[in-house]
Amino acid sequence: MQDSDTIFDKILARQIPAAIVYEDNDVLAFKDIQPQAKIHVLVIPKRRATNLNDLKNQPASNLGAFMIGVAKAAEHLGLVEGGYRVVLNSGANAGQTVFYVHAHILGGEPLGTFGI
């Protein structure tokens, strides 16, 4: 499989469907198919990277645009007042399964903590 053949590349290219909840020039946000919270949305940057360590090789403005896109998606979802969590799994120990960098937005209810 080529790096650029992930399921998120296909969602971005509109080759497979997704429940898109937010989009702007920099990011696409869609519902996770196996939600771990009342609201569980994934945000991907439109400029592809495999994970955070790959993204660091791009101009810093790309990472900035990605994070701003995450915050805009959370705002669009009405999560700012109640609060939300952002998770970014990078690599095997973190359990990354889709090798297109993505941020998980979790919210819509009180979330459990895991010591951090």
Residues forming the site for ligand AMP (CB under 6 A): 7, 18, 30, 32-34, 42, 89, 95-98
Q: Do 85 and 111 meet the contact criterion of CB atoms below 8 Å apart?
A: yes
Phi, psi for 20 (deg, rounded to 5) = -75, 130
Beta carbon of residue 5, minimum distance to ligand AMP (angstroms, whole number): 13
Is 40 in the active site? no
Q: Give the length of the chain.
A: 116
Beta carbon of residue 62, minimum distance to ligand AMP (angstroms, whole number): 19
Beta carbon of residue 46, minimum distance to ligand AMP (angstroms, whole number): 17
**Residue 59 or 104 having the CB closest to ligand AMP:** 104
SS3 content of the chain, % helix, strand, coil (to 5): 30, 20, 50
Q: Which residues are catalytic?
A: 102
